[in-house]
Amino acid sequence: MKPEAVTIVTKFGSPAALSAAHRVGEFSDEKPATALPSWEGFITRVTRGVGALSLGAGINILAQVTIVPIALYAWGKFRYGEWVLLTGLVQVLKLTDMGVQTFVVNKLCTRYNCGDREGLERILHSALLVQMPLAIGIFFAIAVAMAVFPFDRILGLHTIAGRSLFVVGLFLSAELLMGVPFGVIAGVYRATGYLARAAVISAIQQVALVAITVLLIVSGSGFSAVAAGRIIAAILVSVWIIYDLRRLHPWLEIWPALGTWSEGLNLIGPGLFFLLIPLADYLSNQFTLAVTQKTLNGAEVSRLSTHRTIANFGQMVSALLTTAVWPELTALDALDRKNPLSRVHQSLAKLNLWLVGAACFGMLPFLPLVYSVWTAHELALDYWTLGFLLARVLLWGIWNASLTVLCAINRHHKLGFVLLGEGIFTGAMSVFLVPMMGIRGAALSALIADICVSGWIIPILALRETGGTFPAFAVSSIKAMGAIAIPVLIGVTSWHFILSSYLRWSIVFPASVLLVLGLITHELDSSERQALLHLYRQVWKKSKPSE
């Protein structure tokens, strides 16, 4: 071993800590801001993470493509709408996590990178000591509530009631409540450098859920059987995760032996601010579904949910990037590298926006062809609803990058209140707009709330932590949005006035794509151009056959 290597290992103490030392060299402030070496390792790690996470994203798309038309055909639009409502309402049980999972996994990542295995185990065990009894207690509380209250009348359900509703509610609740402790346990994969492995396991679970759901629906089974199949799949995957982690890390004990109740309770305080994030999402999304069900009917719930699925495709693509970048942001903050963190934040905002825009608007020409088939000819596409949702997702692409930075560096306290305020705003507006505009009102409520709250407050909070300035960030984001919006407006207008299908596909569509690529290239700064060139060389090297 070289003397320099001995010095580094002695200083940082472990291979995990050595990885952190490598990041210091990559993002040294002594290097020029445009130096390619500062991006090489970053790009390599992020692209590997994106590649692994893409598998799960593909399965998610497969699930949407297969389950929606099959369920609409077998159950009908009214019954399927009520299934969407039930599965959406129980999502509130994710709040049982108390926000601990995200906060704890960040701490586990820090401990592992510092070579502190005992500290990692202690934090993990302390979290489980609180989460496991809490999840069990809430499950029994739900059972009592389901037995006492007439939820079928409260929710306005028509295709399920009584004992069947009780069983479905318990099974769906158990599936989500299992994810409370096991979410932290599975977080050990990411904390110890096995993000790709975790993504593969998650994809396998999704495949199992899709297969079970489709087979049971096709066989004529009802809600109860489908919910039971989902909980069985969740149990089997959870058992495998424990076995696999013990095999990967023989030193790791899953059972909470080292943790303490006091430390576990102390984790709840900071984690509660993370709790506000899914609560806000619940208010802005699931509450509007409930309003739609109560004001309109289950068929309109189905229409709104399928339109959201189309718009959320961009968010799903974005999640591949932000999830892979997350640990890199945490490492930069832990090493107090403010200058590189600020650079990554601004670049992430632009790239995230472009990914979301490309994913959403790239599929617009195909939607009229596939939506009717996808929904088994039961639902009609509403362009105003879709337009409001796509505009919202485009704006979300910018401020979600700032949200990712704040969450990754555990500066999430004010963020939670901002998102909660937006969720309340969205829910309140939907109460007035849905009766007036139908599902268009639900989509418009979310867009207005983003413009008034999250679209500018969250970037300001992130810039305060990274040291950036809002005017520079705003100018960069507006130019990045123009690189997407201008070609889309030109393309949509041309598509509307040119009636020839041949001219649309041979001229309008490729011309719009080329214009997008040209404008995006123009908006890249020098370091981003070098990073893109490095990525291209990596891909070319891997695709080139070995001699």
Q: pLDDT value at position 89?
A: 81
216 token code pair: 């049971």
Tell me the H-state helices in 335-412. Answer: 338-362, 367-374, 383-408
Under 8 Å between Cβ of 124 and 184: yes
317 token code pair: 């693509």
Under 8 Å between Cβ of 228 and 171: yes
Distance CA 534, CA 26 (A): 14
How far, in Å, are 222, 393, 480, 513, 514 from residue 358 at the CA level? 38, 11, 12, 9, 12
Under 8 Å between Cβ of 458 and 311: no
Q: pLDDT value at position 463?
A: 92
Count the helices and strands in the chain (H runs, E runs). Answer: 23, 0
Q: Dump the DSSP string for 455-467.
A: HHHHHHHHHHHHT
Burial class (CB in 10 A: 0-12, 13-18, 19+), 501: exposed
Backbone angles phi, psi at 331, to 5 degrees: -65, -45
**Sequence-distant (≥ 6) Cβ neighbours of residue 503 within 8 angstroms:** none
How crowded is residue 322: how many other Cβ atoms within 10 Å of its Cβ? Answer: 23
- DSSP 8-state symbol, 14: S
Backbone angles phi, psi at 494, to 5 degrees: -65, -40
First to last CA, the chain: 31
Under 8 Å between Cβ of 335 and 115: no
Q: pLDDT value at position 318?
A: 85
- Token pair 């509450």: residue: 287
* pLDDT tens across the length of the chain (547 residues): 333 333 223 233 333 443 444 444 444 444 443 333 455 667 777 777 777 788 777 787 777 778 888 888 888 888 888 888 888 888 778 777 767 788 888 888 877 877 788 888 999 999 898 888 888 999 999 999 888 888 888 877 878 888 888 888 899 999 889 888 888 899 898 888 787 788 888 888 888 888 888 899 888 888 889 899 989 988 999 999 999 999 999 988 888 777 787 887 788 777 777 777 877 887 788 888 888 888 888 788 888 988 888 888 888 888 888 888 887 787 777 767 778 888 888 888 998 999 888 888 888 888 887 888 878 778 888 889 998 999 899 899 889 999 999 988 878 888 888 998 898 899 889 999 999 999 999 999 999 999 999 989 999 999 998 888 888 898 988 898 888 888 888 988 888 888 888 888 888 888 888 998 888 888 888 777 777 776 666 555 555 554 4
Q: pLDDT value at position 323?
A: 84
User: Computed from CA positions of residues 448, 426, 270, 115, in that sequence, does the dihedral angle turn out positive or negative?
Assistant: negative
Q: pLDDT value at position 460?
A: 93
Q: pLDDT value at position 243?
A: 92
423 token code pair: 């969720």
Distance CA 85, CA 76 (A): 14
Q: pLDDT value at position 25?
A: 45
What are the extents of the domains in the chain?
Answer: 38-259, 270-469
Q: pLDDT value at position 241?
A: 92
314 token code pair: 């961009």
Query: Which residue type, as a one-letter code, is found at position 205?
Result: Q
Could you tell me the pTM of the whole model? Answer: 0.71
Q: pLDDT value at position 540?
A: 57
Q: pLDDT value at position 40?
A: 62
Pseudo-torsion of CA 259, 261, 264, 269, nearest 10°? -160
Under 8 Å between Cβ of 494 and 508: yes
**Sequence-distant (≥ 6) Cβ neighbours of residue 95 within 8 angstroms:** 275, 278, 279, 282
Distance CA 151, CA 154 (A): 5
Q: pLDDT value at position 1?
A: 37
